Amino acid sequence: MNLDIKTGVVVASFTFLFLSFFSFWTGWRTIQAGRRLTYFQKRRQRLSQGWRLVFFSLIFFAMGVIINRFAEPVAYRYFPPTPTVTLTPTVTLTPTITLTPTITLTPTITNTPSITNTPAMPSVVATQFLSTITPNPSAVFSPLVFATKLDKSFQPVDPADIFKNPVPQIYAIFSYDQMTVGSQWSALWYRGSELVCFETLPWNGGTGGFGYSECMDPVGGWLPGEYEVQIFVGTEWKRSGRFTVEGELPTPQPSRTPTRTPVPTATPGPSPTRPSPTPSFTGTATNTPTVTRTPTITNTRRPTDTRWPTATATSTPRP
């Protein structure tokens, strides 16, 4: 550690001042303790020791003042300060690079969309609303979880985001809170921008718990692509979820085509010829009744969810 004369003098002065304060405080404590002693000889010894410490404190204080006042000039008399050479920095010329002017391109204005696309309730679904109860705007839904099966507690079995054909049905499972019983809610299933499945009805659950929406037979079947499910309460969008279907649809089994059964026509054979007296008469009677029936075959699809129209196909064979 490099100390100059001035720093050494300051350190010594503060050291003696500290010793003076400590000695005075210790001596004063000793004098106070000696005055409380009962025996004369011990009290006298303790008081004598305390006054000695007070005396030493005065000596230390005087030495600190003397060192601070006179030590530095005396030290400079025996150790004269030597001037130090201050180096003058030389300026080093640094070559500068001349920049070649470049062509400044005119900035183009990029239109940044400021409107975030929020899902909206389509009018084809809104016209089917039945509830007149005002929904609770504070109702909340959890993120959607997708699965092809549910357990007894309406929880997803093997949830996933990617499904491979053939797909029987898909469930969108969620938890909810602060729902109003009887308010209208809707679940819309999209493939791209095409609405392939939906349900809308008054809320028949509780105010909080678990729920789900299902799609068993979307329009066109489960074609490969990305699907999105949107949850609405009234006309207010609450939550969306996405999943993907991979693989082509299975080849449908050929349907049975009704065939016509030819209707037999009854043609009686020749009538017997009876001998008769002269003149004789031989005739043939032909009776050809024709019975024609036109069957009507009606093919009705299996009953589905009341959310979807039921198609009825009627086939009438030609005669």
| Nearest CA-CA partner of 197 in 220, 176, 174 | 220
Q: Under 8 Å CB-to-CB from 165, ≥6 apart: which residues? A: 222, 224, 245, 246, 247, 248, 249, 250
Three-state SS at 57: helix
The Cβ-side half-sphere exposure at 53, using a 13 Å CA radius, reads 19
Pairing of strands 312-315, 297-300: antiparallel
Q: What are 107-117's pLDDT values in tens digits?
A: 566 555 444 57
* pLDDT given for residue 7 in this prediction: 83
* pLDDT given for residue 79 in this prediction: 72
How far apart are alpha carbons 200 and 213 in whole angstroms? 10
Question: What band does 20 get if pLDDT is binned at 50, 70 and 90?
Answer: confident
Q: What are 251-297's pLDDT values in tens digits?
A: 766 656 555 555 555 444 444 444 444 444 344 444 444 444 434 33
Q: What are 90-107's pLDDT values in tens digits?
A: 666 666 666 665 666 665
